[in-house]
Amino acid sequence: MTLIVLVLVILGLALLLNVGRSGGQAGKSDALSMLPEETGISILCVGDIMSHSPQTSAQYSGGKYDYRENFEYVKPYIEAADLALCNVETTFAGAPYTGYPAFCSPDALAVALKDAGFDIGITSNNHMADKGYNGVIRTQKVLQEQGLATVGSVLEPDDPRYIITEVKGIKIGIVAYTYETGSGSGPVSINGANITDQTASVINSFNFNTIGEDMKKIKADIDGAKEAGAEIVIVYYHWGEEYQEAPNGHQVNLAQQTADMGADIIFASHPHVLQKADYVTVTGSDKQVPVFYSMGNFISNQRTETLGKPRTEQGVMAMINLSYMEGVGITILEMDAVATWVDKYSAGGSVEYRIIPLDKDLESNASLKASGHMSRAKQAMGDAYGILGLSAE
């Protein structure tokens, strides 16, 4: 309502100005032409992109690795977005390649991410330090060489902890952080293992035991992005409890604080299952900030057959559609989503992985026809949109 009133006030001022100039013969079209132009922007973000050992083996053929086919059915959605982000929950530390518990994937996965249409690779997650300092650095370089900007880690300790990308002339700032394990009083611990001071100096992390101080770091990054010209700020978090389908108190509190600190959009992952999408109202304001509490697994080998947890096959292409007006800010902000399901099956002596969009074309999906998993995908469709609290496309 406030935005509508603001637009009407601007329109009224334009009419008055025009009346003064034309002796009272103002036209509505003349007044509208004096308003700042609105720019529509579509943003897409996905959760955990992983390569467990079975996936790495499956993508090797003819003496090389190739992951592009994994994204065949979701590529049109990713390419259609004005800005597309993904959580890269592995490292590109070079051969030998390993899966859980210390991930290292072929560079070919980065090639596939660029080919699919992603613009930003988020590197802050609990596996970012699996291969130490060199892994953190090389992961960024490999993604950047493919043309993806990276956020969540830096090449030098003094580098800004945010990035700014321009979309249709609008500057968008992105901040990304992962949770730490341990008490917060000793060495930084990621995923239950202490990391070196050198590694800690180039990653973005926070600890719930020192959250008061750590929130100051995050706020400084949000403020820094705005001071550097960001007109819209996205914050990504790697947080929550694995396999829990509801956000915990820490997530809810951190989302509220982040909204109050000036974030416009919040994306998040880590639980490996979907959690709800919701709006957080900024304290003392009517501004609402969309939050995707967990975007689940976009692709992994976590599934019914390996974990006995069927919903680890589910993910989402989280979408934000907004309009931005110069001098006014965001005038429209809408949340949308297309849920996804990972299909895995054998064909012609090879193992196939495909990310399936759970949309209106589900019945005609060639992968599901080949695998015979249509009923599982339909079950996932009902589950996913129910958990997200959003309607299917």
Q: What is the DSSP string of 193-230?
A: EE--HHHHTTB-EE-GGGHHHHHHHHHHHHHHHHHTT-
Nearest partner of 52 among 108, 125, 103, judged by Cα: 103
Tell me if 78 sits within 8 A of 44, measured CB to CB.
yes
Q: What is the CA radius of gyration of the chain?
A: 22
- CA dist 260 → 100, 144, 220, 255, 266 (Å): 37, 32, 13, 9, 12
351: tokens are 């193992």
Over residues 349-387, the pLDDT tens digits come to 899 999 999 999 999 999 999 999 999 999 999 999 999
Over residues 270-300, the pLDDT tens digits come to 999 999 999 999 999 999 999 999 999 999 9
Q: What's the confidence (pLDDT) of residue 54?
A: 97
348: tokens are 């012609």
Q: What's the confidence (pLDDT) of residue 169?
A: 96
Number of H helices, E strands in the chain: 12, 19
Q: What's the confidence (pLDDT) of residue 35?
A: 59
Which sign, positive or negative, has the C-alpha torsion 320, 110, 130, 154?
Answer: negative
Residues of the chain with pLDDT under 70: 1-35, 393
Q: What's the confidence (pLDDT) of residue 25?
A: 39
Cα 14 from Cα 159, distance rounded (Å)? 44
Cα 161 from Cα 353, distance rounded (Å)? 34
Statement: 40-388 belongs to CATH 3.40.190.10: no
Q: What's the confidence (pLDDT) of residue 308?
A: 87
> Mapping DSSP to helix (H, G, I), strand (E, B) and coil, where does residue 231 land?
coil
Cα 237 from Cα 266, distance rounded (Å)? 8
320: tokens are 């934000």
67: tokens are 């992951």
- What are residue 329's DSSP bridge partners? 325
pTM, rounded to two decimals: 0.91
Q: What's the confidence (pLDDT) of residue 393?
A: 60
Site of tokens 């099956």: 345
Q: What share of the chain is helix, strand, coil (3-state, %, to 5)?
A: 35, 30, 35
Tell me if 297 sits within 8 A of 243, measured CB to CB.
no
- What are residue 104's DSSP bridge partners? 98
Q: Is the peptide bond before 101 cis (omega within 30 degrees of 0)?
A: yes
Residue spans of the domains in the chain: they are 1-35, 40-388
Site of tokens 């060639």: 366
